[in-house]
């Protein structure tokens, strides 16, 4: 492995840094986007039961709900606007939802950038290696054909590394975007159910 890194030359350094950054983002997003963290089980039912019982919807309780999770923040936004017409409540929920999407997609733009930049950096490293090899041919002649083939193989190490970095980054970028989209649909459903519960209570 170390020999391959050496063969790729200095363009391998940014590729290795990108791979470390991508790994860190993937691990962080897996931890932050756990269902229990985004949508704690039973939270929607608990809030609806609390509202149906006529529980005290004081600002302290609502703020505590907001801090529990993204779902809690969305439900808290609905409760903040509970005295307003249903259309205004829905607008408040949509506004809170946009902020939640931005929060849930944190670092995903960086992961997408790594997926796009990896092959380009790999190609750049290969081009640099090929230039160095042909400059050597210009100075010293073709020499051994096997050595020339080996030089081309070493130059292509950067391209392969760029793809190795980019492919998992792209796959996980798409995976996390899909997971977030699924969460948003479920949270909107929970918020709509809360609106239905609030209507008879008001």
Fill in the DSSP letter of residue 98: H
User: DSSP 3-state assignment of 81?
Assistant: coil
How far is it, in rounded angstroms, from Cα 200 to Cα 87? 15
- Across all residues in the chain, what is the average pLDDT? 84
Query: Please, which pLDDT band fits residue 164 given cuts at 50, 70 and 90?
Result: very high
Q: Taking a C-beta distance cutoff of 8 angstroms, is the pair 20, 48 a contact?
A: no
Higher-pLDDT residue of 171 and 2 is: 171
For the beta carbon of residue 72, count every other beta carbon within 10 angstroms: 21
Q: pLDDT (tens digit, 9 = 90+) per residue, 12-52?
A: 888 889 999 999 999 999 999 999 999 999 998 888 888 88
How far is it, in rounded angstroms, from Cα 111 to Cα 29? 10
pLDDT at 133 over 80: no
How far is it, in rounded angstroms, from Cα 175 to Cα 181? 10
pLDDT, position 200: 58
Proportion of the chain above pLDDT 90, given as a percent: 42
Helix pair 86-104, 70-80: axis angle to 10 deg: 160
First to last CA, the chain: 67
pTM score of the predicted model: 0.82
Query: Strand runs (DSSP E) across 37-112, as ranges?
Result: none
């Amino acid at each position: 492995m170390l020999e391959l890194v050496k063969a790729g030359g200095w363009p391998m350094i940014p590729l290795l840094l990108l791979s470390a950054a991508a790994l860190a983002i993937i691990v962080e997003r897996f931890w932050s986007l756990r269902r229990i963290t985004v949508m704690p089980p039973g939270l929607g039912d608990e809030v609806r039961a609390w509202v149906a019982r006529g529980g005290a919807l004081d600002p302290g309780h609502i703020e505590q709900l907001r801090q529990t999770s993204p779902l809690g923040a969305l439900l808290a936004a609905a409760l903040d606007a509970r005295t307003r017409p249903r259309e205004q409540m829905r607008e408040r929920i949509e506004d809170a939802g946009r902020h939640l999407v931005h929060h849930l997609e944190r670092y995903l733009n960086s992961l997408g950038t790594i997926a796009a930049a990896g092959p380009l950096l790999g190609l750049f490293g290969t081009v640099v290696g090929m230039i160095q090899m042909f400059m050597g041919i210009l100075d010293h002649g073709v020499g051994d054909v096997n050595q020339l083939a080996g030089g081309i193989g070493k130059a292509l190490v950067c391209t392969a590394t760029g793809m190795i970095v980019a492919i998992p980054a792209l796959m996980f970028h798409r995976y996390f975007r899909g997971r977030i989209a699924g969460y948003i649909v479920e949270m909107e459903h929970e918020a709509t159910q809360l609106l239905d519960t609030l209507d008879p209570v008001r």
